[in-house]
Each structure stands twice: as structure tokens, then as C-alpha cells.
Copies of this chain bind each other. A is one copy, B any other.
Amino acid sequence: MARRRQSVTIKHVAADAGVSLQTVSRVINNEANVRPEMKTRVQASIDRLGYVPSIAARRMSGSKSYIILALNDRERTIEAWKAREGSDWVDQMLMGGMLKCAEHGYRLIFELVDTHDDNVQRELKAAIAALQPDGVVLTPPHADNPLITDLLVQHRIPFAAIGAETQAGPIHITMGDDRMAALAVRHLVAKGHERIGFIAGSREYALSGWRKQGYLAAMADAGLPTEHLCERGDFSYASGEVAARKLLSGKGRPTAIIASNDQMALATNAVAHEMGMRVPGDLSLVSFDNTPVVRFVQPPLTAIDQPVADTASCAVELLVQAIRGEELPPMPVVIEGSLIERESVAAPRRG
């Protein structure tokens, strides 16, 4: 294969502008110690020739690769992709992260590794060796895997942990899950609900605990009971069915349920219908995540939106700051979601 050469290199620009390579380098890296006049001249040459630096060459010589790695769990991601259940986590993650990367001249590379596999470290090491990323975005449950975070710390690669239990690296972002759960509770309480059930998510995710705590705290604040009103699922539809059936078949059943994700909310909705209950007439329902599918079911579900794109965008922004050695804000940074009202919540029936 023919050797593929850069068509316009820093040399061409230097020759065109009549300066040294180094001066051009300083201009493209926006370094100090270049006279404005010089800078203008060089920039003019860059624009005229349409010069864009090669990221491979920059990586080779300098310390930057201009690559940020977005690490996701292989098994879960592939499963979700194949199931086509309408979750757009990958989409939101990718678009949010990619667009922010582009603003700073970075590229985002999406990578899958097995969290549970003994080979995590080997897989991650290989990705690091191949790509030499300047930063890594870690999504749950990776964000809490010490095999991953330790390796990153050791390689001195800054990482942004999204939804992690504890702060293992420089950047720690959450989506305010506890406050969002409390918001859902208050929304239902304001409608007059007193018996509010909750379906928790998988223990493997820190956010499951936060959502549950937020629920418990808000219920306590409102002076409402939670006994026999809290079940745990694993985020799957099937687990949602089981939990919903338990909650709805006992005595003193709830007039409203908050489900920790959309699939479990969908399942709850189906179970309610199956049991002859109307949503929202007999049962109000608030979902978590607000993936596109909740808008298309009957009734469209009131949901807590999980701001995935904003979070990914923020992760990249902070990563770039960290790479540049700039000071970071206090952690954790909280990107709060919001409650989207639709048609699955109403006042409870009296009696």
C-alpha cells in the first residue's frame, strides 16, 4: 500500500510563513511568547493552506493524544443494544460527549470492556497502550470498579466517574439521584398520595441506593410510612413485574408507585392493567430515566429525566480542564435532572 503522507504539514506552514516549525507549533498550541504579529502571520498561512495537525504525530512527540475514551460495560451495552427496548443511553452518551470533545479538538472513542471478567485490566491496558487516551469517561458500574480506577490512577490518566459510589479519581459526577427521587415523592404527595410504593434497582449500581434513600428521606419528611412499600428489582422488565405484583397484591396497597427505571415502570403499568387497575385512575406511576419509550406507552409516563447527554458533556469538559492542569470545581459535580409531567399521575381515589 502506498505510504499515505500528510498533504500539508507543519513544515509547509513554517516555510509559507517564513518561520521555524517551533513557532508554528506554538501558534497551534496557543502558547504564550509569540508576538501577535507573528501569530497573525502564521495563522494566515495555516488558514490559506488548510493545515490541520495530525493527532498521531502530536501524540508521538508530545504528551497529548487528543483522544478521550468512553468506557462502557460490554455485556450490558450489547444486551441493551440487541433488546432494542428503546433506551437511548448510548446515543445520549455519545452525542453529549462527542460534541463537547469536538469543541476542544478532541475525539471520543467508545470502548467496551467486561467489568466482571478477570481480563478487565488486560483489556483496559490494551486500550490504553493502543490509544494513549488523555482522559477516560467511566460509566456505572465501571466507575466503582477498583480494578479499573486503580489502573487509571497508576497510568496517571484522569478520569471522570459518572454515578460512582465514592470518589476514586479527580472527577466525580452524579445526577442528583437522591434529590430526584425526593422530587418524585413530593410531586405525588402534592397530588394527595400517602401510600407511595417504590421499586429499587440493582444493588450493583450506586444510584439504586441513592434513589431509594431519596425516597425514604422524602417519605419520612412528609411523615408517611414506607413499610411494605419498598421492593427491589434489578432494572429488568421481569423484575419490575415481580415487584409490582408484590406491591399491588397486599393489603393497604399503594396508590402510587415510583419505579427506579423505565423498564420496571413499564412492567408496573402492565401489571396494573392486568390486575384491572387503571393508570392513573387507580394507580399513579412515576418512572426514572425518561428514555424515549415512556412517551409512547398508554398512558405516557410522568418521569424523572436522567440528563445523560449533559452529564457526558460535563465529564468531557472537566476532563479537558484536568488535562490542561486547570483547577477543578469541588466534587461531586451534580447534574440534576427534572420531572417531566405526562399522564400517569393523578390524585388518588378517595376511600
A binding-site residues for B, Cβ under 8 Å: 1-4, 6-8, 50-57, 59-60, 62-66, 77-78, 81, 84-86, 88, 90-92, 94-95, 98-99, 102, 107-110, 112, 122, 125-126, 129-132, 155-156, 292-293, 295-298, 309, 323, 325
Are B60 and A60 neighbours in the complex by a CB distance under 8 Å?
A: yes
Contacts of A293 in B (CB 8 A): 86, 292-293, 296
**Given contact pairs A1-B325, A107-B109, a sample of 15 additional A-B residue pairs in the complex whose CB atoms are under 8 Å apart:** A2-B63, A3-B62, A50-B126, A51-B129, A56-B59, A56-B65, A57-B60, A66-B130, A81-B91, A84-B292, A86-B293, A90-B95, A94-B94, A293-B293, A296-B297
Contacts of A91 in B (CB 8 A): 81, 88, 90-91
Are B90 and A4 neighbours in the complex by a CB distance under 8 Å?
A: no
Are A98 and B110 neighbours in the complex by a CB distance under 8 Å?
A: yes
Known: A60-B57, A84-B292, A325-B1. A50 touches B94 (CB 8 A): no
Are A54 and B86 neighbours in the complex by a CB distance under 8 Å?
A: no
Contacts of A81 in B (CB 8 A): 91-92, 95, 309
Contacts of A65 in B (CB 8 A): 56
- Picked from B52, B109, B323, the residue with its CB within 8 Å of the CB of A130 is B52
Q: In the complex, what distance in Å separates the CA atom of A50 from the CA atom of B309?
A: 35
- Copies of this protein in the assembly total 2
Contacts of A1 in B (CB 8 A): 63-64, 323, 325
Known: A63-B1, A293-B292, A293-B293. A50 touches B125 (CB 8 A): yes
Contacts of A4 in B (CB 8 A): 63, 132, 156
Contacts of A107 in B (CB 8 A): 109, 130-131
Contacts of A296 in B (CB 8 A): 86, 293, 296-297
7 cross-chain pairs, A with B, having the tightest CB-CB distances, nearest first: A86-B292, A52-B129, A56-B59, A56-B56, A296-B296, A52-B126, A81-B95
A62 CB to nearest B CB, Å = 8
Contacts of A64 in B (CB 8 A): 1
Sampled A-B contacts (20; CB under 8 Å): A1-B63, A4-B156, A7-B129, A7-B155, A50-B125, A52-B126, A52-B129, A52-B130, A54-B130, A54-B132, A56-B60, A77-B95, A81-B91, A81-B95, A81-B309, A85-B292, A86-B293, A108-B109, A292-B292, A292-B293
A350 CB to nearest B CB, Å = 30
Are A53 and B130 neighbours in the complex by a CB distance under 8 Å?
A: yes
- Picked from B51, B55, B60, B130, the residue with its CB within 8 Å of the CB of A131 is B55
Known: A57-B60, A131-B107. A52 touches B85 (CB 8 A): no
Q: In the complex, what distance in Å separates the CA atom of A225 from the CA atom of B301?
A: 42
Q: In the complex, what distance in Å separates the CA atom of A193 from the CA atom of B305?
A: 43
Q: In the complex, what distance in Å separates the CA atom of A77 from the CA atom of B91?
A: 10
Are B56 and A132 neighbours in the complex by a CB distance under 8 Å?
A: yes
Q: In the complex, what distance in Å separates the CA atom of A39 from the CA atom of B112?
A: 30
Are B94 and A3 neighbours in the complex by a CB distance under 8 Å?
A: no
Q: In the complex, what distance in Å separates the CA atom of A125 from the CA atom of B129?
A: 27
